[in-house]
Amino acid sequence: MNLLEMRMIAKETPFSVAGGEFRRRCSFSAGKSDLRLDDDTAKKPRVAYFCMEYGLDSQLPIYAGGLGVLAGDYLKAAYDLGLPMVGVGILWNQDYTHQYIGEDGRPYDKYPNFSFDSVKDTGITVKVRVRGADVTCKVHKVEQFGNVSLYLLDTNFPGSEHGWMTNRLYGGAAQDRVAAEIILGIGGIRALRALDIDVDIYHMNEGHAVFCGLELIREKMRQGMSFKDAWSETRKQIVFTTHTPVEAGNEVHDHGLLQHMEVYNGLTYEQAREIGGDPFNMTAASLRLSHIANGVSKLHGQTACRMWKDIHDAACIISITNGVHPQTWQDEGIRDAFERKGDLWEVHQRNKGMLIDYIEQHCHTRLNPDALIVGFARRAAPYKRSDLIFRSSEVIEPLLMEGKIQLVFSGKAHPQDGIGKDIIQQLVRMSKKYGKSVVFIENYNMEVARHMVRGCDVWLNNPRRPLEASGTSGMKAAMNGVLNLSVVDGWVGEGLQHRVSGWLLNPILEANLNEWEQDEKDLRELYRVLLNEVIPTYYHDRERWIQMMRASIDMSRWQFSSHRMIREYFDVMYEVTRSAQDLDIPSMPVGVYDESERPGYSSPQDEGRW
């Protein structure tokens, strides 16, 4: 596809994605409006992106994991492409957790306080009402990590009585959560007003930000609109991304608590219930406050549609697959060698050596650079099955004893998650048992991730399907020529080709397997592919391995980049929404979204910006 064709597709997208109904309504408008729409699509809508956490750099620890790192990558992609966007978040006084392994092999949590040098005080403050108090929030600005401006709200400054509200990311009890959510949503909108930043579209990245909708409604009601009209006008301004394919992962609050915390922001109980139900479901509310919503991989979009199909009057859920920021995650040497058709192996061995040094410093074990290293770094959650590979010791033990396979693990458990901590304890036990071949790197963060996704040979991913919404660490690995060995879940089914750019486990999903059967089946397949494919190729067919590395980089560098992702958000979420605003169409047609109408996002060969 050439440049011109790409531009044309980009222009057509807002019309084609919405399906027949929307298109019909658009084409009803006579020639003049068509022209106006064309002009408008040329000018990008201005977007405010709301998220509870941001992973921009390990110097600024205000993230817990995948959601935050995605948000950080997003703001960097927006900056690279010169897009009109700002981020809104919270300046946490303490990180999620710094998690280390105790003498007993169990993780424990530390919460250092930060003084952030990288954060500038804008001098602006805003007030929000929380639990009977007028709470002052300072607004800070971050812009030095190659990102568009990120505004962070903070109640934790000398003289403030309300420091607890932004004390610790995902810490504390429900009251702490709700207080932080009020600050993000309601405070975030007020901050944008105080900063005099004009916004066309508000993007709620996950349901934590949903109260921003209540503030947008209040603003309109203050100008005399009825609740219904204010709600429907607000919906046109909001888009929503959901990330959780598990029912229990979606936050729900009791109305008694919401009232006590003063979340309603001028609305009545009945009105709040219309939006979020009773109890108040943050995801359902987000779907009713937005115009269009999305899941974070094709598969997850479908899963989310099924999950929320009974929510009355919800936004249509489409799919936009995640991507990662190449300049942050791909080693420059690898990129260079790929582009110049240079020696990928040599660069890879250098990256592997750096990982081995890092592990030696942190775990006091020196791995062998000439033996296969398989990496696995995830939040400790049972569905991710970190311990799957150990489940049949007859198979795995000889490989570990001989040093044919070396396993590198990392990951945190939520501080209040005992089961997650058990999982880590089990991995630490394995690292003690198989001394030289298994290591666990404590305190997983962007720095650890950076080393692992560059320096391992293989990246293992074996969640129970379809519970992994997207997964992004495998994309980072793929871009570095680290070969994915993965169950087909999240992003994996969309690009990875078996034995070409990685290895797929059980590509055909059999319905009706119970957990135990699924585990058995995946375990057998994992061993089969390891023994028959991965190990022989690594030790006896280096040339093929390098070919696969090349295919992996080629497959991922555009398709799973944050630049492709953000472009899709503009094309199919923001600009569609804005066209609807201009045409005064009350909402997008709800219904089945037709994937076949989506343009292919092939790599823009000679196009730096768009």
Ligand X SMILES: *Cc1c(COP(=O)(O)O)cnc(C)c1O
CB distance 314 to 287 below 8 Å = yes
Nearer to ligand X, 234 or 328 (CB): 328
Q: Are 415 and 384 in contact (CB under 8 A)?
A: no
| Tokens found for residue 218 | 């209040």
235 vs 298 by CB, closer to ligand X: 298
- Give Cα 586 to chain centroid, integer Å: 29
482: CB partners within 8 A, 6+ apart = 375, 453, 454, 455, 456, 457, 458, 459, 552
Q: Give the residue with the Cβ less far from ligand X, 26 or 479.
A: 479
* Nearest approach, Cβ of residue 477 and ligand X (Å): 9
Please report how close the Cβ of residue 468 comes to ligand X at its closest, in angstroms: 7
> Shortest gap between Cβ of 92 and ligand X (angstroms)?
16
Tokens in use for 170?
A: 């995902």
In 3D space, the residue among 374, 412, 411, 371 whose CA is nearest the CA of residue 390 turns out to be 374
Judged by beta carbon, residue 286 or residue 473, the one nearer ligand X is 473
Q: Are 354 and 334 a contacting pair, CB within 8 Å?
A: no
**380 interacts with ligand X by CB under 6 A:** no
Cα 76 from chain centre: 14
Whether the Cβ atoms of residue 601 and residue 569 lie closer than 8 Å to each other: no
> Which residues ranging from 54 to 73 are in contact with ligand X (CB under 6 A)?
65-66, 69
Q: Residue 445 interacts with ligand X (CB under 6 A)?
A: yes
- Name which of 237 and 351 has its Cβ closer to ligand X: 351
Name which of 444 and 570 has its Cβ closer to ligand X. Answer: 444
| Contact track, ligand X, 15-54, x by CB under 6 A | ----------------------------------------
For residue 97, which of 421, 361, 419 has the smallest C-alpha distance? 421
Report in angstroms how near the CB of residue 218 gets to ligand X at its nearest.
35
Binding residue for ligand X, selected from 296, 317, 446, 529, defined by CB under 6 A: 446
Q: Are 494 and 298 in contact (CB under 8 A)?
A: yes
- Give the residues across from 88 on adjacent strands: 50, 151
The residue among 291 and 378 lying less far from ligand X, judged by its C-beta, is: 378
Q: How far is the CB of 382 from ligand X (least distance, A)?
A: 14
Q: Which is nearer to ligand X, 16 or 445 (CB)?
A: 445
Query: How many residues in the shown chain lie near ligand X by CB under 6 A?
Result: 13
297 is a contact residue toward ligand X (CB under 6 A): no
Query: What residues numbered 339-378 form the site for ligand X, per CB under 6 A?
Result: 378
Report the DSSP beta bridge partners of residue 318: 294
CB of 423 to ligand X, least distance (A): 14
CB of 476 to ligand X, least distance (A): 6
Query: How many Å apart are CA 227 and CA 232, to the nearest integer?
Result: 9
- Both tokens of 283, joined, read 């995801």
Task: Work out how close the CB of 442 gets to ligand X at its nearest, in angstroms, rounded to a whole number.
Answer: 13
**Cβ atoms 490, 468 nearer than 8 A:** yes
For the segment 449-488, give every residue that binds ligand X (CB under 6 A).
449, 471-474, 476
Spatial distance between the Cα atoms of 254 and 272, rounded to a whole number of angstroms: 12
Q: Which residues bind ligand X (CB under 6 A)?
A: 65-66, 69, 378, 444-446, 449, 471-474, 476
